[in-house]
Structure 1
Amino acid sequence: MHLHFTPRQIVEKLDQYIIGQKDAKKAVAVALRNRYRRSKLAENLRDEIAPKNILMIGPTGVGKTEVARRMAKLVGAPFIKVEATKFTEVGYVGRDVESMVRDLVETSVRIVKEEMVVKVQDKAEEQANQRLVEILVPSPEKQSGFKNPLEMLFGGAQNSNQTSDTQEDVEIEKKRQDMERKLAAGLLEEEIVSIEVTEQQSSMFDMLQGTGMEQMGMNFQDALGSFMPKKTKKRKLSVKEARKLLTNEEAQRLIDMDETRVINILL
């Protein structure tokens, strides 16, 4: 929990979005601040202070959900809205109550993941630009300097084309540097490029979980996702749009999901 506001400041924040309900705002602000102060106490003292939970009762439309949602956003906590009728009974029309906890965990992981994406954004964009340079000015394929593969085994002379290859490499490197400068200056934003992007996984796993399989407490996508080969497809996009997609891909690669889960548990 990250909270650097006094109860009065919390109420002022809520006043920006919610009209009325002064008593409710004061009550939740004090309860939230006390819970935060309790989290900062030593472990032995923390056990002596019971945290206060909040129960808001009122007719539809008075602001109960909005107060809770704004409070969660204020402290960076996960927030989900559930209908009680969906959890009446596990069976014919009911759902496993544990799915509420699972939804909260998934939401908190997403919050931490978004925070980590922001941290690696600059590096991800740099790598995305490097991929764009590679697409616009491909590196030449390196060929062996030997005409005959047996020459390599028996010490044959290398191909005389090695010198010309070196000159070609120098010219291509100059072109790549020039392309990097143009990309950095935003001169190629409307140029069309063909890129390979990773396709989203099929929603088959979500369909299975939505038919009651969630009661098994398993996330099939996590369990089988690593075994499923990732499919790619070619798309023609402007440099501006391609950079966004490539930056997102690079950010996902840079994020350590195991570290994300550990941070989420600590929070």
Structure 2
Amino acid sequence: MKEKLIPKKIVEELNKYIISQEDAKKNVAISLRNRYRRKQISDMKLKNEITPKNIILIGPTGVGKTEIARRLATITDSPFIKVEATKYTEVGYVGKDVESMIKDLVSITFNKLKVKKIETLKEKYQEVTFLKVAKLIKPYGTINPDEKNILLDEVKSGKYDDQEIEVEKHQNSDAPMVEVFATGNEPDEDGVKGIIDNIMSSFPGGKKKIVKMSVKNAIEYFLRTEIEQNIDLEELKPLAIEKVEEDGIVFIDEIDKIAEREGSNSEVSRQGVQRDILPIIEGTTVMTKYGSVRTEHILFIAAGAFTQASPSDLMPELQGRFPIKVRLNTLNKDDFVKILTEIDFNLLTQYRELLKTDKVNLSFTKGAIEEIAEIAIDLNEEIENIGARRLAGVIEKILNDIMFEAPYEKQTTIKIGKKDVVKIFNYDFVEENLDNYIL
């Protein structure tokens, strides 16, 4: 975490994406800053004794619990995984092992490091690749230095992309180059889409053959070959483990659903799941394919609605490992209006930009935005309170016909007013079709 990310700055960043919930934002910011403070302590014995102050966020769905944790990880570039407590089962039952949350976190972190490493190598060897291809288009011995530079620039510009050239290729390297991109929070063991398999398939060895391919494909082939010869994935394993141990964040959602409830006859003991999660949070060693991981300095943020249970229904030992408990507020109409207008990359901005690609200039009046917020509140009260998530369904309904009719032949300006929103959401219609809004 960067030194400049003091608690006030962290909250300022969170304010760009999350409305209200000041108490929750303040507490997670302090927890993050304490991580940085701990790293500055030189006394190793004392340093090892300082563990994160884990947090339980209490509140209904759609008020920002997950978003707070996710944005926190993004701001600090921390390894992050979201898991659901209900997916895990007590040891001895069929189900997901609680240690898998740590294994998945390490896999995600390793894959992100791998993507960065490959991108670095692509930048490093791109010039070498262009040079190799240029020599195959016109042997350098046949042209003067000025012509060489012109040819190289033309290759870079894509002028020769469709021209065929002959390339000496290993017979086991026929797999096409696949563009590298991150896979987000999915714990995909392969991580980088196809690239490593392709690299391994073209590893030097076996008979060579001369093949014809386009210049564009030749550039990809030579770049892939340079990466395979220079990448060292083994060096990334200890880096991934260190990053997880020092900066990892595990968000455990629905923790209230594994709390003991009076009269519950759950087939798999909720308390058993709590007992299995406890050592992970207390601090234990988890064996992963990348090496062993200590968990005592990973930050755990738990969340739950706690409508049928309370944090005190959790095991006392587990409660003790979550010393900070923060209750989040139910969002009101004003909050919904701010979510639609003040946060970065809000829903209205997203739809405006989407439709702009189809020559539609979309805008909403202040009255329309307030009406959207009011309708979302009403639907939450009449059906089920899913918080700010309701806004997406309301806006989608309003823009349904517009998005279907686009693109238009010429530039079109559409302004959505309060009357337009009311017309679509007349309450007789809503009462007869509530099922349409149940997510």
TM-score band w.r.t. shorter chain: 0.5 to 0.7
Match of 2:115 in 1: 114
Partner of 1:143: none
Contact 1:124 1:248 in 2 (8 A): no
Gaps of 5+ in 2: 168-172, 179-186, 204-210, 244-439
- Written as runs of structure 1 = structure 2, the 5 A alignment for 1:76-91 is 76-89=77-90
CA shift digits 1:117-160 (9 cap, x unpaired): 344343121233234335534x6xxxxxxxxxxxxxxxxxxxxx
Partners of 2:163 and 2:242 lie apart in 1 by 45
User: Which residue, out of 170, 175, 181, partners 2:141?
Assistant: 170
Q: 1:124 to 1:37 in 2, by over 3 A?
A: same
Runs of at least 5 residues in structure 1 that lack an aligned partner in the other structure: 140-168, 202-209, 211-218
In the aligned structure 2, how far is the partner of 1:131 from the partner of 1:27? 55
Maintained 8 Å contact 2:202/2:225: no
Normalised to the residue count of structure 1, the TM-score between the two structures is: 0.63
- Report Cα offsets for 1:44-103 as digits up to 9, x if no partner: 321343321222222211111111111111222121222223212467751222221111
Amino-acid identity (%):
36
Q: Give the aligned partner of residue 230 of structure 2.
A: 254
Displacement after TM superposition at 1:191 (Å): 3.0
Q: Residue 181 of structure 1 aligns with which residue?
A: 153
Q: 1:58-137, aligned counterparts within 5 Å?
A: 58-89=59-90, 93-133=94-134, 136-137=137-138
Letter in 2 for 1:18: I
Q: Which residue of 2 aligns with 1:206?
A: none
Q: Secondary structure at the match of 1:120?
A: helix
The equivalent position to 1:198 in structure 2, one of 175, 178, 190, is 175
CA separation in 2, counterparts of 1:85 and 1:5? 34
Hey, which of these two has a bigger chunk of helix by percent?
Answer: 1
Match in the other structure for 2:4: 4
**Structure 1 residue 243 displacement after superposition:** 4.7
Equivalent-residue separation in structure 2 for 1:2 and 1:242 (angstroms): 41
Quick one: distance in 2 between partners of 1:19 and 1:248? 45
Partners of 2:163 and 2:214 within 8 A in 1: yes
Structure 1 position 36, deviation (Å): 1.5
**Which residue type is aligned with residue 134 of structure 2?**
V
Tell me how far apart the structure 1 counterparts of residues 40 and 236 of structure 2 sit (CA, whole Å). Answer: 23
Relative distance call for 1:192 and 1:104 in structure 2 (3 A) is farther
Deviates more, 1:248-257 or 1:46-55: 248-257
Shift of 1:39: 1.8
SS of structure 1 residue aligned to 2:83: coil
